[in-house]
Amino acid sequence: MAKILLVEDSPTQAVEIRMLLEEGAHQVTHVGNGRLAVDRLENDPIELVVTDLEMPEMNGLELVEAMQLDFEHIPAILITARGSEELASKALQHGAAGYVPKNHLHSLLNDTITDVLGVIRSDASFAKLISTLQKNVFVFKLPNDAELISPLVGLLMQVIPGMDLVSGTDLVRVGVALEHALVNAMYRGNLELGPSVTPPHRAIVYDDASSDLIEKRKQSEPYKNRNVYVEATAGKEEIRIVVRDEGKGFDTSQVPARGDAKVLDSESGRGLVLMASFTDELIFNDVGNEVTMIKKCRQR
C-alpha cells in the first residue's frame, strides 16, 4: 500500500514493527535513528515515516522538526512508549500526523497508517479553478452515514491546498481532525454509542463497519432523525470548521488540554487528542454537541 521508512534503534523492536507493517502490505525500509532517516528521505521516494521517539543522535521529535523544514509533504507517525509522553506531545504540536502507543501497536498501527494515507490520496482535479478562490464556505446536513465522511474530507483536501492555504502534513492533520470530529458526532453524539461498542475509527471511515446495535439505533427513535451539521469556511487567514450533532452532548471538562501528555498512553480518547493537537484552536459549546476547529493559515 505504501513505501514506509521505519525509524527504530532497537533491532528486536524493528523486526516486530516491520512484520506488522508488512502484514499491512507495506514496503518497509528501516534505519536506526533520525539522522539516518533524513539521509534516506533525501534519496528515496518515501510516502510515510513511522518513528520511535527515544533514539540516539536524533530522536523522534528532532526528526519531525527536521521533516517540517525539508520534507513537509511526508507525514510522520510516532510510536510512543510509557515515559515518553511529554516528548510525544511536543512532536504532535510540531508536525507529526499521528501516534500509536507502543502497547497498542498490533491493534492501532496499520489502522493509523490507513487513516493518514486515506486523507492524502484525494482527487486533484479542478486545481486551476480552485486556485482562484479567495473564500469558500461549505454547509452540509449529514445523516448518520459513515460513507459520507471520506468524500467530505476529500472535498476539503482538494479545496484547501488548491487555495494555497496549508499543505504537507498540516493538510493531513486538518483532514484527520475532521474525520475524528465527524465520527464522534455520528457515533458518540447522535447514536449515543459508548467506546466499548463503537468500531475502530478506520473501520468506520473506510470499511463502513456496523453492528446490530448500530443498525438498530439508526432505525429507532430518537436517534434515526438526528443529523450532523458541518460548516467549513476556508479563507486566506484561517480554516474554520464547525461540526454539530443533535445528541445530548458530553462533559467537555474531559477534553485534554493542548499539550496534555498524560492521555497519550491510552487507546481511548485518541480522537480528542488528535483534534486538539492538529488545530490551533478547539472550542466546544457549553452542551458539548458542537465543536469548532480553527487552523491558522501561514502566509505563503
d(CA 68, CA 93): 12
Q: What is the pTM of this model?
A: 0.77
pLDDT for the residue 123: 45
Phi, psi of 43 (to 5 degrees): -120, -15
pLDDT in tens, 181-197: 999 999 999 999 998 89
Domains along the sequence of the chain with CATH:
3-120 (3.40.50.2300), 127-296 (3.30.565.10)
151-180, pLDDT tens digit by residue? 999 888 888 877 888 877 888 899 999 999
Q: Of 125 and 9, which is predicted with more confidence?
A: 9
Please write the tens of the pLDDT for every residue from 106-132: 988 998 998 888 776 654 445 666 677
155, with CB counted inside 10 A (0-12, 13-18, 19+), is: middle
The span from the CA of 231 to the CA of 244, in Å, is: 9
| Cell triple for 108 | 492501532
Q: In this predicted structure, what is the pLDDT of residue 263?
A: 59
